[in-house]
Amino acid sequence: MEQVSLNLARKWRSAQFSEIIGQDLVVRILQNSLFKNQFFPVYLLSGQRGCGKTSTARVFAAAVNCANLFEFQKNSKIAIPCLNCVSCLAMKKGQHPDFIEIDAASYTGVDNIRNIIDTSSFLPVLGHKKIYLIDEVHMLSKAAFNALLKILEEPSKSVLFILATTEIQKIPDTVRSRCFQLLFNPVVDTQVVHHLEMICKKENISYDVTGLETIAHATQGSLRDAINLLEQARFAENSVTKSVVVSVLGYVEDIILYELLSAMMNSDIDQIIATLKCFDKKTISVEYVVKRLLELLYDFILMKYGADAKYGSELSELSKQQIEAIHITKLLGWFDEFVQLDTMLSKTSKKQLLLESLLIRLVTPEYQDYRQEGAKKKNNIKIEENNTIQNSDQQLWKTFVMVVSAHIDPILASILHATDMELFDRQRHIIEIRTLKKFVLFQDLFVEQKKIYQQYLDQVFGYQVTLVVQFNKVEEPIVKNFVSKNEIVENKVSTVKTSSTVKTANDSNYARKITQRYQTPQVYDKNEVTVDVADVSKWKVTHMLLEHFGGTVREIIKDPTDEFNA
């Protein structure tokens, strides 16, 4: 029979621990487990795609059943799996009777898990242990996970489970807590490049290092993706170079993107259009172009603040001069526009058209003037709408003052009665009131009693509100009669109850309902006697209050039934 030719990714799949790239800690843990002959019933391997989870699981499974395991436990320098014994050869051919690999993406149901539970009770045929590898285990249904719990917690001594996943957050906590978890890290670029160089030499593939570095950077830690991309570039041209890799990926070289940004900084529409023509000659990845433009613009912003570039290569002196000349707000505006474009690309098939139109639009003077004027009008309207005090707002404020007076210090209640709302910032939920300068000596009262009045303020307005008090009013306030506690009791003001539906201060119906709920006719206590306070030495505090608030001092005769004086 003619031998099947394998692609590079399958041909160079790791067969021994020494061939696993970039996972030194995981390899050391598994080898120590083998050396000490101590195995956990369930292993959970997690990490991004292509970082070696499944390959490592197969190598570990082969080592567990390798004939040389006992020799390795005596001498750790012996390599396992040996790849030569009956068990290792069966693993290599994919015909080992004690190694069962299941793709959970294809077998997600509870019936498949029940089959595993039933067969796991059978003793191994060829090796020391029966091993189940469940790949992409996060794809199992909830019922399947529930069925798996018992067998994971108390499996047979002759059974090992290895679970592999790229999305560890989707694994239920009840399953994770029963597993020995091993985290696979993305393979670093230098290790990817070194491994690709080895493959190129073994396969007689012509290459240059910059081409391999481009592959490593593009695949972002996935060794399997890197090998697959190497094979694509290998068939595209005779040699794997940077330009070939960029062409395969649909990337655009940085020099073209720098020319594009330079034309934008000069507002040179003709140059932008000329640069964009090169996009028509080849297939490009618009996503990559937008991502790269965002990175270069971010570099420009860093350089404006004197920091080093993070993503770009060396800039020419001309480019540096252009960056120094352009205003930072323009760079920030361009960055925001490309961020918005990046979010739109997944929703359209006209990706290149959107990119090119945005590049031209951003440097069109008429469009810039239009955007600035529109933003100015929008901000002015927004500020005006946010800060305008409506009648319903004042109604709610008066209701709050009336309700809270029963629960706070009488002096603080009197100040609030003499104060109107000056500013209401709806966007930040801030109410500002202004009172006389001389009341600043009672400023501590607002701090001390904030916990009391804050709950009623939030309940009356329907959401959390911040009260800001300014003690800078010059003109004399309108004197308002002080409301005694007896009066409030007779008015039967009840505690405000928070509505389950959040209301806003703009809802005039809500303001009217709240006001009607708490407004009752004022009835003064008849059991009051006017007090003579002519003696200043005896009534010093009283005279200070009269100086600031005016009015008449009355003695309130206590009633045993009064809830405030009982």
Q: Which residues lie across from 45 on neighbouring strands? A: 164, 182
Q: Are 443 and 469 in contact (CB under 8 A)?
A: yes
Q: Are 114 and 147 in contact (CB under 8 A)?
A: yes
Which of the listed ranges 117-121, 231-235, 283-287, 555-559 does the model predict with the highest average pLDDT? 231-235
Q: What percent of the chain has pLDDT over 90?
A: 25
Angle of CA points 45, 47, 53, to nearest 5°? 50
Flag whether the pTM goes above 0.75: no
For residue 563, what pLDDT is reported? Answer: 43
Greater confidence, 433 or 563? 433
Distant-in-sequence contacts of 110-118, Cβ < 8 A, 24+ apart: 110/141, 110/143, 110/144, 110/146, 110/147, 112/144, 113/140, 113/144, 113/147, 113/148, 114/147, 116/148, 116/151, 117/147, 117/148, 117/150, 117/151
Average pLDDT of the segment spanning 350-361: 87
Amino acid of residue 546: L
pLDDT-derived band at 89, boundaries 50, 70, 90 = very high
Check whether 349 has a pLDDT greater than 90. no
Q: Set out the domains of the chain in order of their start, with CATH numbers.
A: 8-183 (3.40.50.300), 189-249 (1.10.8.60), 255-363 (1.20.272.10), 387-523 (no CATH)
For residue 318, what pLDDT is reported? Answer: 64
pLDDT-derived band at 367, boundaries 50, 70, 90 = low
